[in-house]
Amino acid sequence: MSTATLPPIYTKKDFQTDQEVRWCPGCGDYAILSAVQSVFPELGIPREKFVVISGIGCSSRFPYYMNTFGFHTIHGRAPAVATGLKVIRPDLEVWVATGDGDALSIGGNHTIHMLRRNVGLKVLLFNNRIYGLTKGQYSPTSELGKKAKSTPLGSVDRPFYPLSLAIGAEATFVARSVDVFQQHLKDVLRKAAAHQGSAFVEILQNCNIFNDGAWEGITEKDARSEQVVQLEHGKPLIFGKNRDKGIRLNGLDLEIVSLGNGIAEKDLLIHDAHTPNAAYSFLLSQMELRPGFPTPIGVLRSVNAPRYEDQMNNQVRDTIALRGAGDITKLLHDGDTWEVK
């Protein structure tokens, strides 16, 4: 008779808490919370193995609403705290909920180093292009010329593009979805969960109080087909209401073409999320910056690389095997010491 332990069976309700969800009515964070609470039960992981860690901001209330272990840390430090936990407890499923200001301003350095190290964390970056919790200052992702409480004449900062930043930091999994594209968002979350290294997911999210309509160019029903291209590994880049437009490579650049008149699907760029060359993924991350180009959603990059926590723990294990267990008292009294009088 088999003694194997069956995976736990959970429902969405198992990941909901008794806390009142205190986001503004209509906030996109509700949709993201719902998607995460729907996907977690599917992963076959005991609930006590989940940890949700956040920094400061509207998105950072996430741990209160997830019936898992969690930390609400300080501004920008969620990647650092999550890295420490994942290194010491690599068996845990650690997710980070952060915002565009939290992760890319005060926390920018932590975000970059977490990604380059390939720590096995799942990072959800809620991007509403504004500081919502502190009532509407421009953020690192706000567009050039953004008029906000802190920039009444318009921002002169060139914005960060989170996907480009992540790819530039050699992140091994980079993806994007949208708060109101629920089925797509859930699919991206599943893929992020399956990835063994750092999984970075930008979620375009609406702040209907301080930056309403930031993404309406792609979320309005009539605009989606024309302004969004969905990336699927192994499939051509096609978009448009009649699926009659495509994207192909012209030298080292991308161009939009119309299907027909001698141009077929085989002539288009076939999406390869697994290519080790990050230059291709970077091109995709910059696509929407070009006039007339659609916004890509889906998995831009998914490659394998050693995880930081595995390398760190292997190093510790090998050192102990070679030199024996350490003695903290001996360590403190070894080497240079001095007296302060």
Pairwise CA distance, residues 290 & 299, whole Å: 20
In sequence order, the 6+-apart residues with CB closer than 8 A to the CB of 322 are: none
> Would you state the structure tokens that stand for residue 4, as one six-digit string?
């194997």
- Residue 5 has a CB neighbour count (10 Å cut-off) of 7
User: Are the C-beta atoms of residues 205 and 179 closer than 8 Å to each other?
Assistant: yes
3-state SS class at 301: strand
Return the H-helix or E-strand segment holding 239: strand 238-239
Q: Outline which parts of the chain fall under CATH 3.40.50.970.
A: 12-230+272-308
Give the per-residue pLDDT at 31. Answer: 98
Residue 62 has which token pair?
């996430």
Please return the burial class of 184, using the count of CB atoms within 10 Å of its CB with bins 0-12, 13-18 and 19+: middle
CA–CA dist 12, 238 (Å, integer):
34
Report the predicted TM-score, pTM, of the whole model to 2 decimal places.
0.94
Within 8 A by CB and 6+ apart from 82, the residues are 51, 53, 94, 96, 114, 119, 121
pLDDT of the residue at 326: 85
Instruction: Report the pLDDT value the prediction gives residue 170, as an integer from 0 to 100.
Output: 96
The pLDDT value given to residue 1: 52
Cα angle 72, 75, 78 (rounded to 5 degrees) comes to: 55
The pLDDT value given to residue 2: 57
- Residue pair 63/52 in contact by the 8 Å Cβ criterion: yes
Low-confidence stretches of the chain (pLDDT beneath 70): 1-4
Structurally, at CATH architecture level, domain 12-230+272-308 sits in 3-Layer(aba) Sandwich (3.40)
